[in-house]
With several copies, the nearest count.
Chain A
Amino acid sequence: MNSQILDQLKRDKILDLLKTGKRIDGRTLDEQRQLIIETGVIPKANGSARVKLGNTEIITGVKIQLDKPFPDLGDKGILICTAEILPLADPNAEPGPPNEEVIELARVVDRGIRETEMIDLHQLVLIENKSVIGMFIDSSVIDSGGNLFDACSYASVAGILSCTVPKWEVKDEVPTLVEGVTSKPPIKTLPVSVTMARIGEYIIVDPTKDEESCMDARITITTNSDGNICAVQKGGSDGFTPEQLVQCSETALTVGRKIRKQFEQLM
């Protein structure tokens, strides 16, 4: 909580540094931490990735299986991104059903991938209204070091990019698995999520856990390969000026481009 003395001291120190254009880990304000992406880490899954973003570490697995479409969405396959913070990832995480923070995390990650239309869901249909391919992209935070939104999003995107999709043939209205034949998922664009925090009047990219503990507000902006802004989520207990938000949207595009290059190397 902001009100706690330790957080206040931390905030004072962070703000003092920000006034000189610096951050406690030496980064500039619009600089992300090092992003390390490793794919194929869970060979039993159809796709997987381990992502390190500074001290934050995520493992994502993708499972692909036959499914029924949602009612009224019979011409689309199923894509579901989840996220959970494992209790070993954070001294404050608790086992049990997800709390509101975790639900927000999962929904924001899902929305970024869904709204950019990363995957052409129409290509996942086997029999319209009856049988579709379902992709379940489950992210587990295994070390929590700030900015879980971006880290989970990157791990989910990398997990999808690493996927091999099994082939089902439809015989007599029944989808049948074709052994040994797989393809890449139908990728249309590369979503990149960029999260920024406001501390005082400063906007910083990719906040650490310490920075998050004393930030005023947070914003996550997801852009696609064409430079469109596709998903936004403001969080935190204070607000932004409209000017700050425009600045954030520009930063999201600039920073996002660098990350997208890292994704392109996985394709």
Chain B
Amino acid sequence: MVKTMTQLMTEDGIRCDGRRLDELRNISIKVGVLKNADGSAYIEFGKNKILAGVFGPRDVHPKHMANPDSGILRCRYHMSPFSVTERKNPAPSRREIEISKVIKEALQPSVILKDYPRTVIDVFIEVLQADGGSRCAALDAASVALADAGIPMRDLVSACAAGKVADRIVLDVNNEEDQEGQADMPVALMPNLGKVTLLQLDGMLKPEEFKTCMQTALVGCKRVYEIQRKALMEKYFQNGEQ
């Protein structure tokens, strides 16, 4: 299906997948989906299908990586060979290594590591099917999986992108918009503490657009937060506020 720029949005601001400018894709989160992991979550975010599993706090191997004053957090973001159009080599790409790092740094302020010196908390993320915004969706699942593992946390981390498509700022950029749009800005927020823990941008924004785009993303993060909270409630309180 060849898509030209003009098809990314109608004149009425309806996007190529039928959404309005400020509308999220469908999101569903399931908590505790894995038996081996200490905590886990599965998210579907648009066409993203992502698993997150958490182990720890546990002993660090190799030992010289341990910190005597604090626990450490490690993160691996990995894409399955079948998750993208062209089969992906299973060895981690430089892109995956960078995303693993920014996700780790986005989760880190939410996790209370001081109480677990010499240990590690491992967050493993597997992207089974990738769509636009996979790093945000991955973060959303990972934060819920950390909570499911019983790790003490200051806040959840809720992530969502915004972007610029056909000269307008839109919430939650999908794959086509990411490929052919003008800007993509993934954002992660600790909603209760009001801190942005991930911010990236690829594209071209005027200074005013930069502000609007970030505000739009933050609104999205807060909506994602409600979905994360509900998913955790559903697992931990039978009568989750459905």
Contacts and interface: CB of A to CB of B under 8 A. Distances in A.
Nearest to B56: A91
Contacts of A103: 94, 97-98, 101
Report the contact-size class of chain B (Cβ under 8 Å from the partner). 35 or more
A111 interface: yes
B239 interface: no
A232 B183 CA distance: 11
A140 B82 CA distance: 10
A191 to B, nearest CB: 11
A22 B199 CA distance: 28
A239 B207 contact: no
A224 B58 CA distance: 44
Given A227-B207, A229-B210, A241 B201 contact: no
B40 A234 contact: no
A145 B81 CA distance: 23
Interface string A233-252: 11111111110011001100
Given A42-B128, A61-B82, A143-B34, A100 B207 contact: no
A26 interface: no
A232 B201 contact: yes
Interface string A1-23: 10110000000000000000000
A250 B214 CA distance: 14
Contacts of B195: 238-241
Interface stretch (A29-37, A79-87, A169-177): A79-87
Interface string A80-106: 001010111111000101001101101
Interface string B114-128: 000000001011101
Interface of A: 1, 3-4, 41-45, 48, 55, 57, 59-63, 65, 82, 84, 86-91, 95, 97, 100-101, 103-104, 106-107, 111, 115-117, 136, 138, 140, 142-145, 219, 224, 227-242, 245-246, 249-250, 253
Interface of B: 34-37, 40, 47, 49, 51-53, 55, 58, 67, 69-70, 76, 78, 80-87, 90-92, 94-95, 97-98, 100-102, 105-106, 108-109, 122, 124-126, 128-130, 185, 190, 193-207, 210-211, 214-215, 218
Given A138-B81, A142-B51, A239-B109, A228 B204 contact: yes
Given A59-B80, A242-B214, A107 B34 contact: no
Contacts of A233: 102, 199-200
A87 B80 CA distance: 12
Contacts of B193: 239
A48 B82 contact: yes
A87 B76 contact: yes
Given A42-B129, A115-B203, A234-B196, A61 B81 contact: yes
A91 to B, nearest CB: 6
A245 B195 CA distance: 10
A192 to B, nearest CB: 14
Contact of B202 (A57, A100, A115, A140): A115
Given A43-B129, A232-B201, A138 B82 contact: yes
B199 A234 contact: yes
B80 A138 contact: yes
Given A87-B76, A228-B206, A238 B108 contact: yes
Nearest to B211: A246
Contact of B122 (A87, A227, A235, A242): A87
Q: What's the dominant secondary structure at chain A's contact region? A: mixed
B186 to A, nearest CB: 10
B124 A229 contact: no
Contacts of B58: 91
A141 B170 CA distance: 37
Contacts of B67: 1, 3
Contact of B76 (A57, A95, A107, A235): A95
A117 B87 CA distance: 24
A236 B80 contact: no
A111 B183 CA distance: 13
Given A62-B82, A136-B81, A241-B196, A228 B37 contact: no
B199 A245 contact: yes
A228 B122 contact: no
A100 B200 contact: no
